[in-house]
Amino acid sequence: MRWALVKVCLAVTAMVVVAFAVPLGLVVQEMASDRAFSNAERQAATIGPTLSITTDPTQLSKAVESTQMGAARRMAVHVPAIGDSRPVSIGEGRAGERAVAETRRMGRATTAKLSGGGSALLQPTALGSGDIAVVEIFVPESEVSNGVATAWLVLAGVGLALIVGSVAVADRLGARLVRPAERLADAAHQLGEGRLGARVPEAGPKELRSAAVAFNSMADQVVELLANERELAADLSHRLRTPLTVLRLNTASLGDGPAAEQTRAAVEQLEREVDTIIRTAREQRPATGLVGAGAGCDASEVIRDRMAFWSALAEDEGREVRLAGVDRTVRIPVARPELAAALDAMLGNVFRHTPEGTPFAVDVHDAGDAVIVLVSDAGPGISDPDAALRRGNDGGRDGSTGLGLDIVRRVAESTGGDVRLGRSVLGGTEVRVWIGLDGRSTGGPGAGRSGRGRRGNRRNRGRATP
């Protein structure tokens, strides 16, 4: 907008300068020409008294040489034939006999352009005998244009100064208009990045002040809404403490055995997760994504740890478990709790939506610029994978909140990857999670649409599944 205002002022000022400077320059040129020919007429008039007294060539020669123009060889006198005498021309004539005869016939002063440059003023003068003599004054081109070039230079300098001044003023005015808009845009970017304290000074033009007031009001409402949601999440999570306490006390009476130990371990993990939710909800800090500065973990270690928990449950249900690719360290830019939650969501879906005895597998592949985690099962599969990848959709399966794969998707997309659903080699569902290692698209099957997926998330606030 600033440059646009400068261009408008530049165009307007240039048009005004041209509209006034060009006619003024032409007027100056015309005035210089009039001044030169007026001076020539005065010089021609000085020889008039002599012509009215005598037409003697000797006397006329002396009179012509005594004048300024005669001494400069710029005056000539053309006397016609009087009686038996012949026509006489005194001085250096340049106009030619035809122009002299035409002036004598017309009886008024005329000008003639000369082929060698310059002009000639032909002034008719009456003689005592009643005949007409013609006085010729040579006017060089330098006199006709005397001072014109200087005047044009002055006009050009004034016009240029006006243009530069108008551009400078327009730039300052544009800066006053643009700075509030830039501050508003910068605050909007900060708010979009999660810095909820971003506000805009209410300064500038009236319209931008109104926009700043509206933005600050919106930011205050966003902060208030987020605070209310945090409180609500903390309160809802806190309500789970009472049934969890009862459940923990009841597990203490189960006695010994693998099933009892698994149940107690599950209750303890559930208590830890609830405590984590409450602490996170109470913390007054902006969300910065799943991958923080220095965040990361060993994917193989996390998967081995979680599979130790799920394998015991799989053994009770008669499920065959296959684990591959976790025998070496695989570092990924995801916090350990986030990866564990994503893995639990995928394995929980296997146990929840496939019959007992259904085998499943977890594979980890290191692709150099990405880590691929595959969770496969031999269950009935998902009839509509696209619907399953929409947040809140249960994919046609009962008992699902529709949020499980949303956790997985957010973990993957926080690294530049994505999640794909397909048919596994076991015959059921395969969840393929691409985790980028450099924050860019990984180049896998879903990499080409990871950016589109994130833009879609801003429209839908998520694409999740069970």
- The pLDDT of residue 146: 85
Query: 254-260 long-range contacts, Cβ below 8 Å, gap at least 24?
Result: 258/312, 258/316, 259/316
Q: Is 128 helix (H, G, I), strand (E, B) or coil?
A: coil
pLDDT tens-digit map of 397-439: 444 555 678 788 888 888 889 899 988 888 899 999 999 987 5
Provide the Cα torsion 272, 273, 277, 280; round to 10°: 70
pLDDT tens-digit map of 107-133: 888 888 888 888 888 989 888 777 888
Average pLDDT of 15-29? 87
pLDDT tens-digit map of 193-235: 878 888 888 887 788 888 889 988 998 988 888 877 777 776 6
Q: Is the pLDDT of residue 237 over 70?
A: no
Q: Is the pLDDT of residue 325 over 70?
A: yes
Q: Is the pLDDT of residue 259 over 80?
A: no
For residue 326, give both structure tokens.
Answer: 């976790």
- The pLDDT of residue 447: 40
Q: Is the pLDDT of residue 455 over 60?
A: no
Strands 331-332, 297-298: pairing kind: antiparallel
Does 48-141 match 289-460 in CATH topology? no
Q: Is 387 helix (H, G, I), strand (E, B) or coil?
A: helix
Lowest mean pLDDT among 48-57, 268-277, 304-313: 268-277
- The pLDDT of residue 371: 93
C-alpha distance across the termini of the chain, in Å: 48
Helices 299-316/336-353 angle, 10° precision: 30
- The pLDDT of residue 323: 92
Q: Report domain extents, the chain.
A: 1-45+147-205, 48-141, 289-460
Q: Please, are residues 406 and 421 in contact by the beta-carbon 8 Å criterion?
A: no
Residues contacting residue 99 through CB under 8 Å, at least 6 positions apart: 110, 112, 120, 122
Residue type for position 172: R
Q: Is the pLDDT of residue 92 over 70?
A: yes
- Give the total residue count for the chain: 466
Residues of the chain with pLDDT > 70, as a percent, come to 84
CATH number belonging to domain 48-141: 3.30.450
Strands 360-366, 370-377: pairing kind: antiparallel
pLDDT category at 372 given cuts 50, 70, 90 is very high
pLDDT category at 376 given cuts 50, 70, 90 is very high
Q: Is the pLDDT of residue 242 over 60?
A: yes
Q: Please, are residues 426 and 378 in contact by the beta-carbon 8 Å criterion?
A: yes
Q: What is the DSSP string of 52-91?
A: HH---HHHHHHHHHHSHHHHTT-EEEEEPP-TTSPPEEEE
For residue 411, give both structure tokens.
Answer: 């973990």
- The pLDDT of residue 283: 60
Question: Measured between alpha carbons, how far is residue 1 from residues 170, 172, 181 in Å?
Answer: 11, 12, 10
Distance CA(330)–CA(249), nearest Å, equals 39
Cα 356 vs. chain centroid, distance in angstroms? 58
Residue predicted with more confidence, 385 or 245: 385
Strands 360-366, 321-324: pairing kind: parallel
- The pLDDT of residue 435: 92
Strand partners, 422: 430
pLDDT tens-digit map of 439-452: 544 344 444 333 33
Lowest mean pLDDT among 101-115, 159-173, 283-297: 283-297
Mean residue pLDDT across the chain: 80
Distance CA(115)–CA(141), nearest Å, equals 12
Average pLDDT of 289-318? 78
pLDDT category at 373 given cuts 50, 70, 90 is very high
For residue 376, give both structure tokens.
Answer: 């496969």
For residue 375, give both structure tokens.
Answer: 């969770």
Task: Kindly state the helix (H) or strand (E) to which residue 457 belongs, with its residue range.
Answer: helix 450-460
CATH of 289-460, one of 3.30.565.10, 3.40.1670.10, 1.20.120.140, 3.40.50.300: 3.30.565.10
Distance CA(31)–CA(192), nearest Å, equals 68
Strand partners, 121: 111, 137
Q: Please, are residues 176 and 209 in contact by the beta-carbon 8 Å criterion?
A: no
